[in-house]
Structure 1
Amino acid sequence: MYENYFKLDRKPFQLSPDPGFFFGSSIHKRALAYLRYGLTQAEGFIAITGDVGTGKTTLARMLFRELPPKEVIAAQIATTQLEADDLLRMVVQAFGLTVKSESKSALLEQLEIFLHKQAREGKRALLVVDEAQNLSHKALEELRMLSNFQTGDKPLLQSFLLGQNQFKRTLQHPDLEQLRQRFIAACHLTPLDEAETREYIEYRLVTAGWKNDPSITDEAFTDIFRHTKGIPRRINSLADRLLLFAYLEERHVIDPDAVSIVASELDEELNITDDKKVIDDEKMAITEEQLGLSNHFGTRSQYNTPARFQWDYLELRITAIESRLQILNSYIHRRFSEIKRKP
């Protein structure tokens, strides 16, 4: 809508991860370097952790763009609450295989045959697991066991695990000692600082063809950082709405006043500050119990608003929806390929 008005080539602030807009902050460069290092080692595990919206999935997609297709065959899965057998089935499907049997032994045999075939063709297999904080201990142990597949002294499968902050705590559990010993590197993504937030916004705008229209004042950049805490996904959400606001109001300067108006509108939509929209405690408790959220988020926030309207929870839901869409897209692509191969 606003792209033509501001003569932009495309939308600069999409919520969905796009490696074409990858911004190399100091911490993101380090994380990407760890992933690249892991590829050169061709073994073990690498973990990338961080808050919701800090860019873990974008890093994975950036890495996938760099993979040499003649040397590495890669698969990515975005996990929900999976147990070990479900995870194994997803891994088999992620590598484009049709599940021939539901038994665990058959799935393991099918995967091992596939991995050996790739090795004979000179290819290594890489598995990227997004939302790894959702995996049970048994599922993580299953991943460790998959790393035991070898040909000679070379492992057939390498895994990169991307997860939210709680995944760091999960890995410290005594039951996962053997898995921890398989990690060759780990990196934690932190939010951008104020200077990086400005650089991030300007980088995405320039990438989209921005010619300083609308201009953004220094004070507005400061306020954007204050409202978003330097978390890329929050920055994208606020910046996108600022451009829409500027278009609708026919403004060519984004100032603190514009940031204040748009940030307040977003807060009201998320029901963070509007007390009139607070849901009855009893109904909220039932809803949270049904959703299984009470133990994870508490019933009400420090602002006396329902937990399900907080930024973190809404971002978790967005991530979960995006993950399901990725799985659905992979399934459709696989089914389409199967149909094309049929005579």
Structure 2
Amino acid sequence: MYAAHFGLRELPFGITPDTSFFFGSPRSQEALNTLLIAARSGEGFIKITGEVGTGKTLLCRKFMATLGDDFVTAYIPNPFLEPRTLMLALADELEVPLERNVDQHRLLKSIMQRLLDLARQGKRVLLCLDEAQAIPVESLEALRLLTNLETEKRKLLQIVLFGQPELNRKLELDSIRQLAQRITFHYHLGPLSRDDLDFYLAHRLRVAGYTGARLFSPGAVKALYRASGGIPRLVNIMAHKALMLAYGEGRQQVATTHVNGAARDTVAPKRRLWPWLAGAGALAGMAASLAWTFTR
């Protein structure tokens, strides 16, 4: 694609949560610090919220990678599971040996025994649940009961909830108010600021191997912020398309017109924060630009 054209080792604006591209903006670094402090304090529940595309999954991966060897982590990316299935997923993550068709009592007893064994080894166990707004209420209550397991010194299991703002509304329900009261650390992850965006682009390009002059013009950065609202996922999608357009024209710098073309080709969020982005004409233009490259 365009990697060789711009002197890149790899594509810089993928949307997969690659921790090597983690950008320590003031907000994301503060969120990471909050997680690390909370984890080491031994609190039962920790909560991180943010709108779609603000980097919660990447933050979760970075957090788990930053923890030391004294932590054992379990990660469940899709917790839309009824209580028993959620417990089985936790047992699988903790490598708990189970008999086939194990009953609920033995399942919980086996998990507790594994947690006690890890505690005796000086290990802290931390469960990270992504997309936590999807967890059924009864499963949230089951998780709360699991955090009742503790030694005289600390909890045997800590739980971090990563979710969209809908998670906050779910936690307001009377049926799980006891869980909400146990969340002692929480942080809301917001979008990038205009200044952060400039550093964000430079950071990802540098990690991808770029060593040249400024690749996104000031006007392109301004247009990218206006179109994306600073949401990292949208930034990545539009920046990638803008690079494709610049490459298709044989340009060495991304201009405002390239970003505007990428924005027109990007589906606006459901809440339509940027309704003027709707449109599908840019794909044809992009195809024509790429055709110029291959036929010249």
Secondary structure in structure 2 of the residue aligned to 1:108: helix
Pairwise mapping of residues 259-298 of structure 1 onto structure 2 (< 5 A)?
Answer: 259-264=259-264, 266-267=265-266, 270=267
| d(CA) in 1 for partners of 2:172, 2:226 | 33
Residue 129 of structure 1 contacts residue 162 of structure 1 at CA under 8 Å; is this kept in 2? yes
Secondary structure in structure 2 of the residue aligned to 1:253: coil
Structure 2 equivalent of residue 2 of structure 1: 2
| d(CA) in 2 for partners of 1:102, 1:240 | 49
> Post-superposition shift, 1:215?
2.4
| d(CA) in 1 for partners of 2:166, 2:88 | 25
Q: What are structure 2's unaligned runs of at least 5 residues?
A: 281-296
Pairwise mapping of residues 28-107 of structure 1 onto structure 2 (< 5 A)?
Answer: 28-69=28-69, 71-100=70-99, 101-107=101-107
| d(CA) in 2 for partners of 1:257, 1:232 | 20
- 1:168 equivalent to 2:146? Answer no
| d(CA) in 1 for partners of 2:166, 2:236 | 24
Pairwise mapping of residues 1-343 of structure 1 onto structure 2 (< 5 A)?
Answer: 1-69=1-69, 71-100=70-99, 101-212=101-212, 215-264=215-264, 266-267=265-266, 270=267
Provide, for residues 122-155 of structure 1, a one-character-per-residue CA deviation record: whole Å limited to 9, x for no partner. Answer: 1111111111000111111111111011233421
| d(CA) in 1 for partners of 2:274, 2:19 | 36
> Post-superposition shift, 1:214?
6.6
Secondary structure in structure 1 of the residue aligned to 2:261: helix
| d(CA) in 2 for partners of 1:34, 1:132 | 18
| d(CA) in 1 for partners of 2:47, 2:184 | 9
| d(CA) in 1 for partners of 2:205, 2:20 | 12
CA RMSD of aligned residues (A): 2.3
| d(CA) in 2 for partners of 1:19, 1:116 | 31
Give the TM-score normalised by structure 1: 0.75
Provide, for residues 50-105 of structure 1, a one-character-per-residue CA deviation record: whole Å limited to 9, x for no partner. Answer: 01110111111111111222x11111101242221221111111223344234221
Q: 1:301 to 1:214 in 2, by over 3 A?
A: closer
Query: Which stretch of the first structure deviates more once superposed, 239-248 or 33-42?
Result: 239-248
> Post-superposition shift, 1:226?
1.2
Q: 4+ residue stretches of structure 1 with deviation over 4 A?
A: 300-303
Residue 239 of structure 2 contacts residue 262 of structure 2 at CA under 8 Å; is this kept in 1? no
Q: What are structure 1's unaligned runs of at least 5 residues?
A: 273-296, 304-308, 310-343
Higher helix share: 1
| d(CA) in 1 for partners of 2:226, 2:130 | 28
Q: 1:302 to 1:212 in 2, by over 3 A?
A: closer
Give the TM-score normalised by structure 2: 0.86
| d(CA) in 2 for partners of 1:302, 1:185 | 32
Query: How many corresponding residue pairs?
Result: 275
> Post-superposition shift, 1:183?
1.2
| d(CA) in 2 for partners of 1:181, 1:216 | 46
Secondary structure in structure 2 of the residue aligned to 1:254: coil
> Post-superposition shift, 1:208?
1.6
